[in-house]
Amino acid sequence: MPFQKISDWLEYDKNHLWHPYTSMTDPLPTYPVESAHGVRLKLADGRELIDGMSSWWAAIHGYNHPVLNAALEQQIQSMSHVMFGGLTHLPAVTLAEKLVNLTAKPLQHVFLADSGSVAVEVAIKMAIQYWYAQGKTKKQKLLTVRGGYHGDTLGGMSVCDPVNGMHTMFQGVLPRHFFVPQPICSDDGENNIEAMEKQLQQHQSEIAAVIIEPLVQGAGGMHFYCREYLQQLRVLCDKYDVLLILDEIATGFGRTGTLFAYEQADIVPDILCLGKALTGGYLTLAATMTTAKVVQGISADGSGVLMHGPTFMANPLACQVANASIDLLLSSPWKAAIEQIEKQLQEELSICQELTIVRDVRVKGAIGVVELKEAVDMKTMQADFVAQGVWIRPFNKLVYIMPPYIIKQGELTKLTQAIYKILKRLTLNAN
C-alpha cells in the first residue's frame, strides 16, 4: 500500500534499501529528496540544498533541464528500448557520430555500455582479446598506478588501488595485476615514470595494457598529476608494445577545463572510457571507444567478436538524452564557466590551508579538494553540511566539490564557505 507519511517510507528505506558504501545494520542517515531543479535539491521537509556533487559528477547541466527533459519526452513516444543485438536505431548512431567527432581522430569505434564500471570491463576485454587474437595469449595482465579507481565490478576492482582502495577484502578472488607508485610531479619536471618503465621491461610479455585516469585520480583520492607523465607513458606503451587505456569516466566532457583530459597532454589512447556526464546525469550510459588498430587486432584470428553484450546496451532513451546533453554542452560557454569555477575555487578554498587539520588544498578545473590529515566522521559531517544548506559528501580524508557547470558565483560561495566554516569548527575542537 502507498506510504502515508515521509517517516514511514524513510523507515522502510532504512530497513530494506542498501545504499552505496553503507551498512544495513548501522546505516548512514539518508535525506529524502522531493525534487531537484537547477543546482538545488529540495528535501521533503521543504529545505533546499545547493548541490556540490553533481550527483557523483554526472549532472553537469544541473537538474530538470528543459532541453534534456524534452529529448526524453520526444524519444519515449517512439521507442523506449529495443535490443541492440541485430538491431540498431538513430539515437545510437547519432551518438556514435558525435563521440567520434569530439574525440581524437584515431578513435573511430564505439561500444555503448551500461555504466562506467562496465566501460572499464569492456576496455579490459578489448585489450586482452587484442593480444589473444594475435597468438600472444600470455598478455592478460594490466599495469596501473596506485591510488586509482576504475569501478566496482570485478574487472574494475582488480585495477583499483590494492592496499588503500575500497576492495581489499576481495583480493583473493580478483585477478592480480601490476602496480607502480602513483604519479608525483615536481616543479622541476621530475616524476616517477621510471617505475612504470621498469615494470614494462620486466613484464612486457604478460602486460596487455596500461590503464590510468588522466590528470585526475578520482574516487581513489582526488589526486592530481602533470601532463608530462601521460606524455612519457604514451611513449613507453609504444616502446614496449602495450595498449594504453585512459579512463575518462570522471574527467570527460569538460570537467578539467578541456573536453577530455588527454587533450592537455596532446596524446591519444588506444582505448578510451567515458561515462558519468555523458547523459548529463539523466540515465546510466557509458562508452568504450577504440581505434582501427585494436579492432583489426581483435579480428586477427578471423573472429573479431568482442565478448560482451549487455541487455540494455545502447538504450534509445539514454542515447537520445546523451545526444541532447552533448549538444547542450557544446552550445554553452562551458569553457569560460569551468575557468570561472576554477578561479573561484582557488580563491575561496585557499583559506582552508591555514587550518591545522588540513593537509592540502588543490583545484583542477571544476574540481575543488580539501584533504585532511585524518579521516572525517562521515555521519556527523554530512549532517553539518545539510544544516548549512549544501549537499557535499566527504569520504575518507577528503572534502571535495565537483559542482554543476551552471552554478552561479553566489551558490558556489555558499559551498566553499560551508566547507571552511565546518573545517574551522573541527580545527578549534581539535586544539
Backbone angles phi, psi at 4, to 5 degrees: -85, -30
Distance CA 243, CA 291 (A): 11
Specify whether the CB–CB gap between 94 and 319 falls below 8 A.
Answer: yes
Specify whether the CB–CB gap between 156 and 117 falls below 8 A.
Answer: yes
3-class secondary-structure state, position 267: coil
Q: Per-domain residue ranges for the chain?
A: 31-64+333-430, 69-330
Task: Select the CATH number that applies to the domain covering 69-330 from these four: 3.40.640.10, 3.20.20.70, 3.40.50.300, 3.40.50.720.
Answer: 3.40.640.10
Q: How confident is the model at residue 189 (pLDDT cuts 50, 70, 90)?
A: low
More confident of the two residues 110 and 166:
110
Q: How confident is the model at residue 341 (pLDDT cuts 50, 70, 90)?
A: very high
> What is the mean pLDDT of the segment spanning 296-310?
91
Backbone angles phi, psi at 138, to 5 degrees: -80, -15
Rg over alpha carbons for the chain, rounded to the nearest Å, is 22
**Percent of the chain with pLDDT strictly greater than 90:** 89
**Nearest by Cα to 146 from 186, 200, 199, 183:** 183
Q: Is the pLDDT of residue 1 over 80?
A: no
Q: What is the pLDDT of residue 168?
A: 79
Q: Is the pLDDT of residue 304 over 90?
A: no
Backbone angles phi, psi at 354, to 5 degrees: -75, -15
Q: What is the pLDDT of residue 190?
A: 64
Specify whether the CB–CB gap between 220 and 165 falls below 8 A.
Answer: yes
Distance CA 411, CA 390 (A): 9
- Quickly count: other Cβ atoms within 10 Å of residue 411's Cβ: 18
- At position 419, the amino acid (one-letter code) is I
Residues with catalytic function: 21, 149, 247, 276
Specify whether the CB–CB gap between 145 and 194 falls below 8 A.
Answer: no
- Residues 6 or more apart whose Cβ sits within 8 Å of residue 419: 349, 352, 370, 392, 399, 401
Distance CA 234, CA 214 (A): 11
- Quickly count: other Cβ atoms within 10 Å of residue 178's Cβ: 17
The CATH code for residues 31-64+333-430 is: 3.90.1150.10
Q: Is the pLDDT of residue 62 over 70?
A: yes
3-class secondary-structure state, position 411: helix
Q: Is the pLDDT of residue 188 over 70?
A: no
Q: Are strands 243-247 and 271-274 parallel, antiparallel or unpaired?
A: parallel
150-167, pLDDT tens digit by residue?
Answer: 999 999 999 998 877 777
CA quadruple 151, 286, 342, 230: dihedral sign: positive
End-to-end CA distance of the chain: 52
Q: What is the pLDDT of residue 3?
A: 87
Instruction: Note the pTM of the prediction, 2 decimals.
Output: 0.97
Strands (E), 44-177: 48-51, 107-113, 141-145
> What is the mean pLDDT of the segment spanning 359-382?
96
> What is the mean pLDDT of the segment spanning 260-266?
98
Provide the mean pLDDT of the chain: 95
Specify whether the CB–CB gap between 133 and 297 falls below 8 A.
Answer: yes
> What is the mean pLDDT of the segment spanning 78-102?
97
Q: What is the pLDDT of residue 159?
A: 95
Residue 422 buriedness (CB in 10 A; 0-12 / 13-18 / 19+): buried
Backbone angles phi, psi at 379, to 5 degrees: -60, -45
